[in-house]
Chain A
Amino acid sequence: MHKTRIIKDKTAGATMLALTIFSILFVVVMFVGLYLKSVPVLEGKSLWSLLSSSEWKPIKGEFGFLPFIAGTLWVTFIAILLALPVSLFTAFYLTEYARPAVRKFVFPALDILAALPSVVYGIWGTLVIVPLISDRLAPHFVEYSSGYTMLAAGIVLGVMVIPLLVSLFIEVFSMVPRDLREASLALGATRWQTSQKVVVRKTLPGILASTVLAVSRAMGETIAVLMVCGCVMTIPKSPLDSGYPIPALIANNYGEMLSMPLYESALMFAALILFVVVFIFNLLSRIVLYRMEKRIGQ
């Protein structure tokens, strides 16, 4: 009786260890799988020429990723630029000022923003943001804009990352011990001075890490961006140009890619680029956050 219990304990342990290790290995498997698929296109051209060329002619075997990389950078940059101040100030209010009553309203609102699916944001973007840009905003700057622009994608994406940023910031700000805030307040500092000079100072690495996490989230967002970015294969010169971010490229062309092996390889290389960037960004920022939690939480 006793022995079977021990054996049960050990077998369960071994099985769970296997599951855990397999989960970790999955990251590696994913990388290797995408890499193997990218080999054909990498053999034809050097990595640099793939990344720096803007010729995209699958039929001729020309795959230049520059327009797509530029598109991704534009939308991500605009999204973070818009979401960062809103998220920072919201997080400041919620951690440094908020009475429970305010939180009761703001948290569910953020919950909803976080829960809404990408495709719903896509509809909202097409019905609200795109017309707003083409009818109201763009005429001040350019002769004609369809509204399906980097700016539209950036705005939609910005709204989508706000809940992520706010929750990360709140987590980071809550690591600051209460004593530290009180030490500053007790010297006659206002709450804003305390937030600025003590809380931000103490959590700067965490704020940066959170922002990097949000950047990596924004870079991979597909459907919503695809619906409002315009999908034009040129390098966008301004926020009011259309563009073609990497995830949109993959999603839009997967249907045709099977007909050409090199095309498939190129699209998998696009996925590999996303994976590698997201992997590095996530790993670095998580390490920073773990360390911070340990250091401050001691």
Chain B
Amino acid sequence: MIKHKHSLMKVSTTKKVREIIAQVLMWLSMAVVFVMVISVIWTIFSHGWKAMSWEMVSSLPGGGFYIGKEGGFLNAIVGSLYIVGASTLLGLLVSVPVVFYLNVYLKPGSKLAYAARMAFDVLFGVPSIVYGAFAFTIMIFFGLRTSLLGGIIVITLLIIPIFIRTMDEATREFPRDILDATYSLGATRWETLKVVVRQIAPGIATATLLSVGRAIGDAAAVMFTAGYTDSIPTSLSQPAATLPLAVFFQLSSPIPEVQDRAYAAALVLTIIVLVLSIAGRFITNRFSKNKV
């Protein structure tokens, strides 16, 4: 049999051309991603920066948020902080035990764990507007009005699936030997909680950052439940303003000064979210480095 000794420089053109086209498409796709990021951030910064002033973040809107030309959006900043702070705490309180239960108490391959994970996946996918509408009907049922409490509850429900999914992921990678080691020292399952929590601390931190990001940016759910107001709530039963709604409502006003408040609020919101996202990336990087 005669073998053809091809030169290694021989080029199979169609193959090569297709490979190049594919790579060009990939680079273009990534370029699209970058262009979008830059375009969005630039739009928010260029409009927000002009409108930004100390007054914006330090005073309440004067003369009504929709028509008054004076003041800022301190009401929304404080409202968002109240809601996000409280729901993050509540969310942790529910999620950590559930994740612990799924991973330590239940055996791997348990039907209940499968069902629970499925349920959280589904809940994670449920749009926030549906959460809002559902919570709204419940509130009407109990005769509640839009209030800080309503906002806190619906945001807590909204972020629990995020908390659980993220922490669950971190926990599933965590070495079983450590558990076995604590068991062999005579610890009960409950007593391993400390060890587990310490081990997945970076996971909890990432989950918290993700949840805070989602909680602070959500508009559809709080629209129904927390309502909107010009003042800072002094009790749980009063309505509360939030940053996304400060953007949304004030942007629809015909008065330029009010629209400026919306742009400034959007800038504040974007900066918060960017900081959270960078912090999250930082933690996951460190986390994976420690693992390897």
Contact = CB atoms under 8 A, between A and B. Distances in A.
Indicate if A touches B (C-beta under 8 A): yes
Contact of A123 (B16, B44, B120, B130): B44
Of A16, A117, A283, chain B has the most CB atoms within 10 Å of the CB of A117
Interface string A218-248: 0111110001000000000000000000010
A120 B40 contact: yes
Given A13-B189, A19-B101, A112-B274, A24 B137 contact: no
B98 A16 contact: yes
Contact of B219 (A15, A33, A110, A119): A119
Interface stretch (A46-54, A135-143, A189-197): A189-197
| Interface range, B side | 35 or more
Interface string B171-207: 0000000000000000011110000000000000000
A116 B243 CA distance: 13
Contacts of B122: 27, 278-279, 282-283, 286
A111 B248 contact: no
B32 interface: yes
| Interface range, A side | 35 or more
Interface string B207-245: 000000100111110011000000000000000000010
A216 B255 CA distance: 36
A109 B43 contact: no
A117 B30 contact: no
Given A116-B273, A286-B121, A274 B244 contact: no
Nearest to B20: A192
B134 A124 contact: no
Interface stretch (B56-64, B65-73, B82-90, B111-119): B111-119
B49 interface: no
Of B122, B140, B218, chain A has the most CB atoms within 10 Å of the CB of B122
Interface stretch (A58-66, A73-81, A86-94, A173-181): A86-94
A30 B131 CA distance: 8
Contacts of B40: 113, 116, 120-121, 124, 159
A124 B244 contact: no
A97 interface: yes
A108 B278 contact: yes
A146 interface: no
A274 B262 CA distance: 29
Nearest to B140: A258
A267 interface: yes
Contacts, number: 253
Of A8, A115, A122, A195, chain B has the most CB atoms within 10 Å of the CB of A115
Contacts of B144: none
A214 to B, nearest CB: 10
A146 to B, nearest CB: 15
Nearest to A29: B134
Given A109-B37, A271-B129, A9 B118 contact: no
Contacts of B102: 20
A6 B278 CA distance: 43
B98 A23 contact: yes
B188 A8 contact: yes
A89 B26 contact: yes
Interface string B93-106: 01001101110010
A260 interface: no
Given A13-B190, A112-B37, A34 B133 contact: yes
B97 A15 contact: yes
Interface in A245-288: 247, 250-251, 254, 258, 267-268, 271, 274-275, 278-279, 281-283, 286-287
A20 B116 contact: yes
A13 B112 CA distance: 14
30 contacts: A12-B97, A13-B189, A16-B105, A17-B101, A19-B94, A19-B97, A23-B94, A23-B160, A26-B123, A27-B123, A30-B130, A89-B29, A89-B30, A90-B29, A90-B30, A92-B26, A107-B281, A113-B37, A114-B277, A118-B244, A127-B47, A222-B219, A247-B220, A250-B129, A250-B133, A267-B133, A275-B126, A278-B125, A278-B130, A279-B126
